[in-house]
Structure 1
Amino acid sequence: MPLGAESKAHDAEVGLYEAHHLVKKYGNVVVLRDVSVSMAPGRVHTIMGENGAGKSTAFKILSGLVRPTGGSLQLSGREISLASPSAAHHAGIYLVPQEPAVMPELSVTETMFVGQLPTVGRLPRRIDWKGARARAVEALATLKLDIDPDQLARNLSIAQQQQLECAKALLRGCRVILFDEPTSPLTTHEVERLFSTMRRLRSEGYTLGFISHRMDEVLEISDDISILRDGALVDSAQKQDFDRVRLMSQMVGREMRVIPRRQISHASAVPVLTVANLTHEPRFRKVSFTLHKGEILGLAGLVGAGRTEIAEAIFGVRQKDAGTVQLDGEDIASCGTYDIIRKGLVYAPEDRAKHGAVLQMTITENLTSSLLERVKSSMGLLSRNDEERIGAETVLRYRVRCAGIDQKLRQLSGGNQQKVVFGKWMGTGPKVAVLDEPTRGVDVGAKDEIYELIDGLAKEGMGIIVISSELEELVRLCDRILSVYEGRIVAEINGDEITQERVSSSYLSSAAASGR
C-alpha cells in the first residue's frame, strides 16, 4: 500500500483530532484530570511530562486502548467513542506503542497483517498470501526499512519491531498516527530515518502525535507541544515558544538548568573487567577492552552493531565462540549467570518487559528477586519484613512513583518500571554494572537522578559500562567511549575528545565506507 493511501473504513482527509476535558481514574488514583489537547493535520503535536504524568494514558485513550472516566473525543468536528483499538483503526487512528508486541513465530508479513489478512476468490475464500507479501514489501520500502518480509518476527531487534509498527499504521491507511516514544530503542541514525518519514507524513496532511523524553528530538520534530504534570495540562504552545529550560521547568515544576558533560572522572588505573578477543560469529568478533574501577565506559553504534550481544556474552547469557572475560583477575568466561552475579557483575538489559522484570509481580517481589539470600529467615523461608524494608528503601532512593510497594509492576509507567529494574540490580552491590539503555523511556527529571546515581556509583569505585542510543547521554556520562560497527570496535574516544559529532562520525564513517 503506497504511503498516504486511503482506507475504505474512513475518510481520506482527517481534520482536527481533539480531546476535551479528559479524566481518567483507577480507583482513587487520578491519572488524568481535565486534559484538553488539539492535534491538527499537517502538524506534529508532542506530549511531554515526567514519568507518571499521564502521557501514555492520554495516548491510550486517544487510540481506543483505554476508556476515559470523563471527557470526550472529537474527530473532524464529530464526537467519537472508541471502544477498542480496532474501532480506532476504523476511524483512521493508530498507536505506535512504546513497547512493540510481536508474535515471535509469525513472519514479518503475517505480523503486519494480523487481524486483516487479505482474501481472494469466491466461497470458500482463501488467504491472498502473494498479495499480502507484496503490500508488506511496499510498506517496508516506503519507510526504507531493510527488513525481510519472510523472516520470523522473533529475529527482529527491538528497533526493527518498533519500525514495523510504523509500517502497520500505513497498511491500515490511518491518517492519525500517535507515536508513543518510538525513538526509545533507536540510535541517532535510526531516529533521523524515522523523522524523515514523519516529515513526509506531515507534508501529506497526516495528523501526528508524539511522545519523547529527548529534548533535542522534541525541539527538532515538533510543531506544537503540550506538557502534563501530575495528570494535568500545565503548558501548551507552538514549538518556537519553547526552549530546553522552559520545557524542563514546566515538566518538573521547578527551575532546572541544563547540565553539561561531567568534568570529574573517578576512573582509576586498576582494572576490574578485562575482555580479550571475545567472539560470537556472526554478531561480533575479537572484541577486547579493559574497564577500570570507577570508570564509566560507553558503547556507541548503530542498532544491530552488536553492542547488546557483547554485553550478553560478558554476562553469560550468550554463547562465546572464543575469548576470555576476567572480573577482578578471575576468569568468569565459563561461569553461569548466577555465579557471575554473585562474583559481582550485573547486567540491566534494554528490554525491561522481556528480560529485566516480571510485570505481573509486585514492586517488592521484583526488587528482591535478585536478593533472596538477604530476605531468608532462619527457617529458610522468605522474610516479609525484610522484603518490605528493602522494597521501601529502594522505592524511596530511586523515587519510584507508585501507590505502594505491593503495586504490580505492570501498573507503573515505563520510566518507573525502569527505575525498579535499575534498583534491583544495584541492590546486589556489584563491582561491575553493564547498563543497556539505562534511561530508555525515562523522563528528563528521572534521567538526572539516574545520571547522578551512576556518577555516585563510579565515585565509589564501581566499573560501569553504558550502552546507549542517545549520544547526549554517552557524552554526558562517559570517561571513554568505544564505537562498535558490525561487531567490531572501530574507534576509542577519550575524555575531552568526546563530543556528539566525534562519536557519531566514528561509526557512521565505517557505515559509509561499507556502503550502508
Structure 2
Amino acid sequence: MQVGFYEARDLNKRFGPVTVLRGVSLAMQPGHIHTIMGENGAGKSTAFKILAGLIQPSSGSLHLDGQALSLASPAAAHHAGIYLVPQEPALMPELTVTETMFVGQLPTMWKFPRRVDWKAARARACQALATLDLDIDPDQLARHLSIAQQQQLECAKALLRGCRVILFDEPTSPLTTHEVERLFGTMRRLRGDGYTLGFISHRMDEVLDISDDISVLRDGVLVDSVERAAFDRVRLLSKMVGREMRVIPRRQISHATSQPVLEVADLAHAPRFRNVSFDLHKGEILGFAGLVGAGRTEIAETIFGIRARDKGIVRLAGEDISDLDTHDIIRKGLVYAPEDRARHGAVLPMSITENVTSGLLERVRSRAGLLSRSDEDRIGAETVQRYRVRCAGTDQKLRQLSGGNQQKVVFGKWMGIGPDVAILDEPTRGVDVGAKDEIYDLIDSLAQEGMGILIISSELEELVRICDRILSIYDGEIVAELTGDEITPERVSASYLTTAAASGR
C-alpha cells in the first residue's frame, strides 16, 4: 500500500514562448496539508495539473514513495492514487450523482460482467457521500446541484477511487463559511488517517488555519517553502507579491450621484424572493450582502431577464425593460457577469480574443458581414492590456489561464460593451490579493466614469471596502440598508445574521 510521500523535483513548464514554472520542487508528506500560495499566474494550478497528470512538464520529475512516476493522463494518476479536486467542476448535467461519481469505472456484476451493478454503485456512492457528511441525493441529476455541491461531489469522487494523495485546487471558493468548516473537518480527518493533501487557496485565514506546510510561488518560481509556524500574514503576503503589503482602508471618495440608472419596484419570483425594491444611482457601487441561498443571485438573474418575474417593474435609465429578453437588455446598456465563469461567463476552449469579442460581434463585423480579424485582434489586445491579463498572447485558450486571469477576461468582455449598469456576481471569486486590488481599482474607475455597479459578494471585507451602500438580503427580502459609517464587517454581518437567528435558521 502506498504511503503517499509525493515529490516534484525541478519542474519546468513552458507554453510556447512563456515559461510558467521554473525549477519548482515540492515535497508533500503523509498526514500533512501542504498549501501552495501565490498571485494569479504564479503557476499554482499548473503545478497541481502536472502533479495530477493533466499536463506534462517540459522537464523535471515526479516521485511517489521514492519511486519515479510517469503520469500520462489523469487516469494514470488515479491508478497511482492521486486525485485533483478541480477549481471549476465540469460535471455531465444529465447524469445522476451516482453515475457521475462512477464515470469510467462503473462496477459490473460478478456473474454478468457486461452488466452494470447499479445497486453496488449506489451503495458505494452513498458511503462516500456519508463519509463527507454530504446531504446529496445519489439519484438526482447533476445539473440540479449547486456550485458548492458540485465541489463537494468532487471530494467524494476522490475518496471513492481510494486515492491517498488528494489535491484541492481552490475548493473553498464557491462555499459558504459553514460549508468550508465542514470541508476542513473532512480534510483534518483525512490528514489524521495519513492522507497526503495539497491545497490552493487565496483566503489567508483559511491558509493559516488549515495548513501544515506552505510553499509560495511567484512568477513560476518557488520563493519559500516552510512549516506553518514560520509564517505570519504580512510575511506571506510580501512573499506572494514581492513587496511589502500595506493595509488599504475602506474607500473614502464616492462617485454616486442622485440620478437613478436602475430602478427595481416590487420585483418577485416565487419562491426565491419577493417585494424587492431599490434604486441604483449613476456612479454608485451598491452591494448585496447575505447568506448563500438568500436570493441575491436570483434577484440579479431576474433583473437581467434570465428568470421570468412574477410581478414588478425594472427600469433602466427610466425605460421599462421588464419584458425585454436578455439580448435586448444588453443592447440597452445593462450587463451581468455571473458567478460561475466556467458554465455561464466564458467558453474555456476558445481563445482570449474570441471570448472578449463574443459580446461585441456588431463592432467586429466588416461591411461584407464577416468578422474582421484585425478588429478582433485589436480589441483582444486592448482588453489584455487594460485588465492586465497574464497570458502568452491573445490567441491563448482561456482554459490555459489561471482562474483569476479567466475572471479578468470575462470582466473585460462585459465592460467592453460600455454599459450604463453592470451587475457583478462574486467578481473576485478565486482571485488573489494582487489581482483583487486591480479589480477594485477598475470598479472604482468605472464608477467614476458614471457607471452604476451592483456587486454580489460573500466576502464581507470586499463589500465593506468598495461599496457606497449595502442592501442585506435574507430569505428573499431586503432586511437592511447600510450607508457611510454604518458599513463595517460587524454591522453588515449582523444585519442579516440577526434576522437568521430570529427565524431559527
TM tier relative to shorter chain: over 0.9
**Matches of 1:44 and 1:493, distance apart in 2:** 39
Cα contact 2:4–2:195 (8 A) shared by 1: no
Aligned pair in 2 of structure 1 residues 504, 191: CA closer, same or farther (>3 Å)? farther
Question: 1:418-440 deviations in whole A, cap 9, x for unaligned?
Answer: 11111111112211100011112
Partner of 2:38: 49
Q: Offset of 1:512 from its aligned partner?
A: 4.5
Matched, 1:367 2:388: no
Assess if the C-alpha contact under 8 Å between 2:282 and 2:450 holds in 1. yes
Q: Does the alignment pair 1:110 with 2:99?
A: yes
Partner of 1:66: 55
Cα 1:444–1:89 change in 2 (3 A) is same
Q: Which residues of structure 2 form unaligned runs of 5+?
A: none
- Match of residue 446 from structure 2: 457
Q: Is the 8 A contact 1:224 1:236 kept in 2?
A: yes
Give 1:469's match in structure 2, choosing from 453, 458, 470.
458
Shift of 1:66: 1.6
Aligned partner of 1:279 in structure 2 is 268
Contact map agreement 1:187 1:470 (CA 8 A) in 2 = no
Other-structure match for 2:255: 266
Check 1:355–1:247 CA distance in 2 against 1; reply closer, same or farther (3 A cut).
same
CA-atom RMSD, angstroms? 2.1
Name the aligned partner's letter for residue 188 of structure 2: R
Structure 1 residues 21-30 or 176-185, which shifts more? Answer: 21-30
- Amino acid corresponding to residue 223 of structure 1 in structure 2: D
Distance, in Å, in 2 between the alignment partners of 1:130 and 1:483 is: 46
Question: Quick check: 1:299 aligned with 2:262?
Answer: no
Counterparts of 1:60-459 in structure 2, within 5 Å, are 60-124=49-113, 126-459=115-448
The 1:20/1:471 distance shift into structure 2, 3 A limit, reads same
- Aligned counterparts of 1:202 and 1:505: Cα–Cα separation in 2: 34
Are the aligned partners of 2:215 and 2:226 in contact in 1 as well (CA < 8 Å)? Answer: yes
For residues 50-107 of structure 1, what are the alpha-carbon distances to aligned partners after superposition, in whole Å with 9 as ceiling and x for unaligned? 2221111110111121222222222222222222222222222111001101110111
Instruction: Give 1:345 shift.
Output: 0.7
TM-score, with length taken from structure 1: 0.92
Give the fraction of aligned pairs with identical amino acids, expressed as a percent: 79
Unaligned ranges ≥5, structure 1 = 1-9
Distance 1:165 1:401, change over 3 A: same
The 1:494/1:423 distance shift into structure 2, 3 A limit, reads same
Distance, in Å, in 2 between the alignment partners of 1:456 and 1:26 is 33
* Number of aligned positions between the proteins: 505
Q: Deviations over 1:390-443 (max 9, x none)?
A: 222221111111122222323222211111111111112211100011112222
**Structure 2 counterpart SS, 1:291:** strand
Provide TM-score, normalisation by structure 2: 0.94
| Cα-to-partner distance string for 1:458-484 (whole Å, 9 max, x where unaligned) | 222221111122222222222222233
Relative to 1, partners in 2 of residues 1:82 and 1:514: Cα closer, same or farther, differing over 3 Å? Answer: farther
C-alpha separation in 2, matches of 1:498 and 1:199: 35
Tell me, yes or no, if the aligned pair for 1:157 and 1:304 is still in contact at 8 Å: no
Assess if the C-alpha contact under 8 Å between 2:4 and 2:165 holds in 1: no
Say if 1:248 and 1:333 are closer, same or farther in 2 by CA, change over 3 A.
same
